[in-house]
Amino acid sequence: MSVKILNNVRLIQKCIIVGKDGKILALKRAADDHSRGGNWDLPGGGYEQGELVEDAIRREVMEEVGLSALELTPVYFTNKIGVKEGFFQGENVFGICYYCRVWTGEIRLSDEHTEYQWFTPQDFMKLDFGADSGFFVASMRSYTTLLA
């Protein structure tokens, strides 16, 4: 029996932060950012070696918006293979999106983002996310399906 090991694997995680009114926290990336500069975003990012996967998304949410994500629920998962540019660039990229309704703290943006706004899920899906391979809209559709 042979073991198959994926090389050049990348994990990207994002989090739908839900406010008390049901609106979604969206972040505007800095115009000069290396990844989708000037486009809208959700808090999140990559995995650092040695982290538990859920610890990585909690760390990214804290670093990017200063919030402690207390309860995380996976809502969308995808993978892309051989993408040459954009959000899912790499040989084997896995993307996970969570939603979080229970969080604490006050929003403090990192240098990666220049502004934030709260949007209804429907308005969120109309935003410009840049080269994200449809990840944000698919994540929001999955989230809103759970609400129905």
Where along the chain do its domains lie? 9-147
* Prediction pTM value: 0.89
69-88, pLDDT tens digit by residue?
Answer: 999 999 999 988 776 666 55
CATH number for the domain running over 9-147: 3.90.79.10
Contact 139, 97 (CB under 8 A): yes
- Confidence category of residue 90, pLDDT binned at 50, 70, 90: low
Contact 114, 39 (CB under 8 A): no
